[in-house]
A and B are shown apart, each in its own frame.
Chain A
């Protein structure tokens, strides 16, 4: 039975298809679709050529828009040829649009943000930008997202909505960059010599621009050092080279001039009673008791030899805790 039914349906389809009117409509629809594809590609090519002076992402955006618009129009026309009634479709489209609108509000937001990004030319392919703490080269600005390549060769996709809201720092927009180096010198340093040495380092480096002139700003008195900010200018593409070479040259120049770059220092105040510290010599052999310098205290008596520092600290602190005689208590 099924074979008979299938045969009937196939023959019905064939008879429906071989209707000359339907065949003509089908032919026109295929023709329209083919023409639509060709024209859409032509429009895309023409827009890319016409916008040759524009940034690549703008060319791509407009070309893509034209492609789908032309293709859409021809598709609708082709479907009308096949007898689709778009009045019904448009009626249902209102309801569907509301549903899709709720479902795709994030995408729509990204889409509109992408348009603003492209029109504002906030970022362009090839820019080095920092967005939300991510630094990288802009690969593309697409309709929904912007793609960055970080310097450790990762691709980061940032939604365009975030790009519009975030603070974007473009590192290579201008041809020059200022390179700031903070350097601290010991409090004992001859500050005139320090300043002269830093300026000489900047002057000797051929990649440091003579103009704008290097700048030296005193940063004040730090915990362990007097701090300076040396700001030198260089070409943006030389940023890392200048930063690394000037740092090395400062160290070499300071070493040659005897200028100390200090480590953090802490001065410990032992309290009211001076802290007694005695250097102990480790036993070189034989019994510890024989040497008389064992750090181990005798089990029933005062610490043997010097004792440990912690014990001595406790001893030293004892008079203070009891309000005993001390310089401050006197």
Chain B
């Protein structure tokens, strides 16, 4: 499935009344789906993020995690989410769990968080985009959010605590994308390059045009063309693992911005990650997850490119 940010779903946070009218009572539209919940032995918890529904069942000695995907979701692409909550343990899917984590005594607190994709994403504008010499534009790129499941023990006082009496002991069970993007290759040829995720964008340059959906994260990509010639590109690589995830006051997900500066002709650009929350977002923001990897300063990378030929002649 090729991730596409052109869905026609409603914008975020319509409120409880809108949610009740637009969706079935069991699938309310909530913009905030992350959080934690205590699950007793024999209990379960579930969360829905876009097309993905995750169910985690706690047993005495293990956690079982099931992931269901709504096959028909692709037709409507409606922006639906449901906050993590306890679920009926008898309502587990009949299939094989995607994960069984065993313990001497299973921890009882499960936390669902938002995370960034584990690979860079290659964004293809639907039509080639040209940036004139000396111009700077900000492109808003939407990518699927990764859902991270973590379990921990909770002290009666409320804080997570290690089994041995030390500080918090938490274990990341798994991470799954809300919507699996298609793989793609970013490199000069089929022999050298990097495996990335693919997404298409209509190249929105105006923040007001960006739809906010609970299962997607918006990244402001600032492109500075300081070279003497116009930059016309068919794809641009955005280093998502270097970015943190934030939520704004309305519950929408953002990453910090990334700036690609092209100083000379060609496909190379200096990548600089903003250390602060996205400047484009007004109001208070909360940092939900850390970057997967960290770079200091700026690095030159092959950020822009043209399409590879499918006949392997590249």
Contact = CB atoms under 8 A, between A and B. Distances in A.
B312 A210 contact: no
Contacts of B182: 203, 205-206, 208-210
Interface in B110-140: 122, 124
Contact of A206 (B1, B193, B312): B1
B280 interface: no
Interface in B200-223: none
A215 B311 contact: yes
B157 to A, nearest CB: 44
Nearest to B234: A211
Given A211-B198, A213-B310, A215-B310, A233 B185 contact: yes
A211 B307 contact: yes
Interface in A208-256: 208-215, 231, 233-235
B314 interface: yes
Contacts of B235: 211
Interface stretch (A1-9, A69-77, A172-180, A270-278): A172-180
A178 B2 contact: no
Interface in A106-151: none
A212 B191 CA distance: 12
Contacts of A82: none
Nearest to A207: B183
5 contacts: A203-B2, A206-B182, A211-B235, A214-B310, A233-B185
A212 B2 contact: no
Interface string A175-214: 1101000000000000000000000000111111111111
A211 B312 CA distance: 10
A215 to B, nearest CB: 4
Interface of A: 174-176, 178, 203-215, 231, 233-235
B2 A211 contact: no
B181 A206 contact: yes
Given A213-B307, A215-B310, A235 B181 contact: no
Nearest to A234: B183
Given A206-B1, A206-B180, A211 B311 contact: no
* Chain B interface extent, by class: 20 to 34
Contacts of A213: 307-310
A189 B311 CA distance: 26
B198 A233 contact: no
B312 A178 contact: yes
Contacts of A203: 1-2, 182
Contacts of B2: 203-204, 210
Contact of A212 (B124, B181, B195, B314): B314
A268 B312 CA distance: 43
Given A174-B190, A178-B312, A231-B310, A211 B184 contact: yes
B302 to A, nearest CB: 14
Q: Which 3 A-B pairs have the closest CB atoms?
A: A210-B198, A210-B184, A215-B310
A204 B198 contact: no
B1 A209 contact: no
Contacts of A207: 183
Given A204-B1, A215-B311, A210 B193 contact: no
Contact of B310 (A206, A212, A235): A212
Nearest to A173: B191
A212 B183 contact: no
Interface in B257-314: 307-312, 314
A209 B180 contact: no
A211 B180 contact: no
B123 to A, nearest CB: 11
Interface string B138-157: 00000000000000000000
B146 to A, nearest CB: 14
B308 A212 contact: yes
Q: Kindly name the residue among A174, A205, A212 whose own CB sees the greatest number of chain B CB atoms within 10 A.
A: A212
B1 A211 contact: no
Nearest to A217: B311
Given A176-B190, A206-B180, A209-B182, 16 more contacts: A174-B190, A174-B191, A204-B1, A210-B182, A211-B198, A211-B235, A212-B308, A212-B309, A212-B310, A213-B307, A213-B310, A215-B310, A231-B310, A231-B311, A233-B185, A234-B183
B184 A209 contact: yes
B308 to A, nearest CB: 4
Q: Count chain A CB atoms within 10 A of each CB in B184, B191, B307, B310 and give the residue with the most.
A: B310
A213 B307 CA distance: 8
